Structure 1
Amino acid sequence: MKNIKIYGLVLGLALLQNCATTKNFSYDGKGFKDAYNSITSAELKENLYIIAADDMEGRDTGSAGQKKAGVYMIEQYKKNGIGFPPALGSYYQKVPSASMKKYGETLPDSENILAFIPGTEKLEEIIVVSAHYDHVGTKNGVVYNGADDDGSGTVAVMEIAEAFQEAKKKGYGPKRSILFLHVTGEEHGLFGSEYYSENPVFPLANTVADLNIDMIGRDDPENRGKQYVYVIGSEMLSSDLKKINEAANDKTVKLELNYKYDDPKDPQRLYYRSDHYNFAKHNIPVAFFFDGIHEDYHKSTDDPDKIDYPLLQKRAQLVFATAWELANRPDRIVVDGKNTR
């Protein structure tokens, strides 16, 4: 009788395990759809009006305003039950002043902010979703709010994290771990992401890809009124990543994906100009999501009332859908290119 009971228990556990591993993680599944639909323009707007408010003083690197913005971000992660990397011991990775020297500039100590959702099956493999949360501060008493640059990316990362957490609560936690990385010092020289890449919380060898978001709330003159996003670098290091992003787009928001800045001859050289590059230089596949250079770029007029919130929502949903596939597909994406630029 005892053997029959033990057999029944083992069989029951096996069936439960089988059910867990055969859950539908496709774009047609309820787990994805519910999480995807939780990314709303209303929540993005609510957070951005706080992150890009005058009392954040333009979020210059190491400033009181930037630290205040960081406290708000962490409060939201705590509210949503999203923790930090266990090895770090908090949401903060200190970036010391000594690591942020260039052109004779002296910056105060600052912090990267890291939130983390552990994987259910491939805990050691890490998908990074990144954005910088600093901007250029206050000049001559005028606050440069940086709503698009990069308040839009900051709130998108927060909303994507919340969507993954919602899926986790319903039993659809990501199979690979996801690091939500808010870096400092981008405006002064990509310092925060450089510091992370040289002092990684998780081994770079285990980092599958970085999806970097820097300005996704506006449109540029070339694409005025279009439903589009620039995607930069998605096929530089992995033939899989561009295909995955395009498939995610086709299944969801159906934006026009513009690859203009992938041209090595492009004078803007944007592949090198945001935080993804500090992953790419270590041969980690990257995709950089960007809206272009618009008339309020690095001006005091980059304010939250000028953001196209429905378009910001779609772009955030595209990054989420891409991260979802990267996190849940059976195999890690290939690295079959080499960063030689």
Structure 2
Amino acid sequence: FVGYSIPMGPEHYQGYPENTDLTGRAAMILRYEPMDEDGSSKWMDRGWSYAATLGPKFRAAANRGAAAILMVSPPTAKDDRVGKLETVETSGQGQPVDIPVIHITPEIADMLIEAGDPQGRSLAELVEASNEGPTIVPLQSVHAFIDCRIDREPILTDNIGAVLPGKGDLADQFVVLGAHYDHLGEARFGTRFPGQMHLGADDNASGTAGVLTDAKILAEAYKQIDGPARSILFLNFSAEESGLNGSHYYTENPIAPLENHFLMVNMDMIGSLRDALEVGGTGSAQGLAELLEPVFDRTDIKIKASTSVGSGRSDHASFDRVGIPNLFFFTGLTDRYHTPDDTSDTINYEGAARVARLAADVVFAAALDEGTLQFVNTSDGPGKSRRRIGGPGGVKVRVGIAPGDYSGETEGVSIARVFPGTSAADAGLREGDRIIVWNGEKVKTIEDWMPMLASHEPGDTIDITIIRDGKEMTLPITLKARGSRSE
């Protein structure tokens, strides 16, 4: 019995003593997190903190050598899921572990505990002890026989693209108009509502429809062109929600050299136009503002030349990472974001059509422009860059990196990007580094790392171990509050 299996939580909570070894044992884990007398979280006023996320709890046990996991829901928890046994599909555990995980009833847990605890305590008594602090109890002479098989198969998906050929001397250069066409589906990550269908009308059927609309508009416009024009690549990305995987793949496997990509325009969530259209990336190249000015002057849409979610939250970030000028068209977050309520009846269709028309005008102007754009690195935050978003709250600090790999195939947190003025930049972290130890705790995946962040307060200084150029090194890092950034 290992209590809540939370390696690090708020208020300096550490669920495992140093060098805890679970090798060859089945770890019985409590769901949720330390509770008060009425079954609510001790760490959150509402709901549960990030520390209650299942995936990191499972990995904390697996990282210590557990051969299997037996999860039990405390019967006194104030949660609608108490009394229900979860499946892989409903659990929302995220990155899987390579050992069996079985959700057992309190009755079975009680039987095992009473048979194996030297003090003869019950599940209720061990839950009470775990609420007061970390509790690990070897259950003597109790054995679990588990017969199962774990099958892991990659999920294959595709980007979908089409090219409108250019003309003359500019034809071998490309303007990319893109949007991601995936969403959360039954939502095993990135939501507070795992297992429920998420249709993603705004995020991002709206942008996908915008690309299709603009393909028709621009194909007609190109029939009237006599002079030189760049080719246009209409590109719908897959696997954006799981970490910008589709756009990242394209920038690693482009249809033309990266230097032949003049500009990338990304439409993500354009279906909720209200006061203004947020356009990010206007400073991503010298000369881009001048190219945009006459186009923006002609529209009746109010333009806000920045985005409320930072520069790295969608597929344009993959292009920015490799030095391609880029724009991000975005109508802002709503309370329907990453919920089952993001449905077609909530879309501002007229507004979305106006945004798509403006994007077509920008692409057309870029395609005909005979000048050059010089890329400028202006990123102001990692946001969604190569990472999943959503999930429980409670993380008060920001490191300032864009992770480079969400597959879990390489141990640790690979750094694809370090953002200026952040904790990571101040600590001297670099692109290509890989974090393997955080404050004395081994980091195997990004999902391991997130609950570690939730245990910190702004101003905490800790040591981290990284791999750089094949060598281990340890650095101190002082954590800044989320949202803070040196200008």
Q: TM-score range by the shorter chain?
A: 0.5 to 0.7
1:31 aligned partner: none
1:167 partnered with 2:215: no
1:128 partnered with 2:168: no
Q: Is the 8 A contact 2:180 2:315 kept in 1?
A: yes
Q: Is the 8 A contact 2:264 2:319 kept in 1?
A: yes
The 1:129–1:115 alpha-carbon spacing in structure 2 relative to 1, beyond 3 Å, is: same
Secondary structure at the residue paired with 1:323?
A: helix
Secondary structure at the residue paired with 2:159?
A: strand
Q: Is the 8 A contact 1:164 1:173 kept in 2?
A: no
1:309 aligned partner: 349
1:211 partnered with 2:249: no
Q: Deviations over 1:239-281 (max 9, x none)?
A: 3223322321212x221111343xxxx7x4x311110011111
User: Going by fraction, where is helix more abundant, 1 or 2?
Assistant: 1
2:130 aligned partner: none
The 1:104–1:202 alpha-carbon spacing in structure 2 relative to 1, beyond 3 Å, is: farther
Cα distance in 1 between the residues matched to 2:271 and 2:226: 29
Correspondent of 1:230 among 271, 278, 295: 278
Q: Identity over the aligned pairs, expressed in percent?
A: 34
CA radius of gyration, larger in: 2
Partner AA of 2:237 in structure 1:
V
Shift of 1:123: 1.3
2:484 aligned partner: none
Partner AA of 1:206 in structure 2:
N
Question: Which region of structure 1 is more displaced relative to structure 2, 103-112 or 282-291?
Answer: 103-112
1:246 aligned partner: 293
1:256 aligned partner: 302
The 1:173–1:192 alpha-carbon spacing in structure 2 relative to 1, beyond 3 Å, is: farther
Secondary structure at the residue paired with 1:272?
A: coil
Shift of 1:144: 1.1
Shift of 1:145: 1.0
Query: In the comparison of the two structures, how many residue pairs are matched?
Result: 225
Secondary structure at the residue paired with 2:295?
A: helix
1:9 aligned partner: none
Cα distance in 1 between the residues matched to 2:286 and 2:201: 33
In structure 2, list runs of 5 or more residues that go unmatched: 1-93, 98-152, 188-193, 380-418, 420-487
Q: Deviations over 1:51-71 (max 9, x none)?
A: xxxxxxxxxxxxxxxxxxxxx
Shift of 1:168: 2.8
Q: Is the 8 A contact 1:165 1:173 kept in 2?
A: no
1:153 aligned partner: 207
Q: How high is the TM-score relative to the length of structure 2?
A: 0.44
Partner AA of 1:132 in structure 2:
H
2:323 aligned partner: 283
2:234 aligned partner: 180
Correspondent of 1:110 among 122, 142, 157: 157
1:137 partnered with 2:165: no
Q: Is the 8 A contact 1:280 1:339 kept in 2?
A: no
The 1:176–1:292 alpha-carbon spacing in structure 2 relative to 1, beyond 3 Å, is: same
Q: Is the 8 A contact 1:168 1:174 kept in 2?
A: no
1:12-51 aligned within 5 A: none
The 1:137–1:174 alpha-carbon spacing in structure 2 relative to 1, beyond 3 Å, is: farther
Partner AA of 1:216 in structure 2:
I
Q: Is the 8 A contact 1:174 1:324 kept in 2?
A: no
Q: How high is the TM-score relative to the length of structure 1?
A: 0.62
Secondary structure at the residue paired with 1:164?
A: helix
In structure 1, list runs of 5 or more residues that go unmatched: 1-101, 220-224
The 1:283–1:104 alpha-carbon spacing in structure 2 relative to 1, beyond 3 Å, is: farther
Q: Is the 8 A contact 2:281 2:306 kept in 1?
A: no
Cα distance in 1 between the residues matched to 2:199 and 2:256: 32
Q: Is the 8 A contact 2:279 2:305 kept in 1?
A: yes
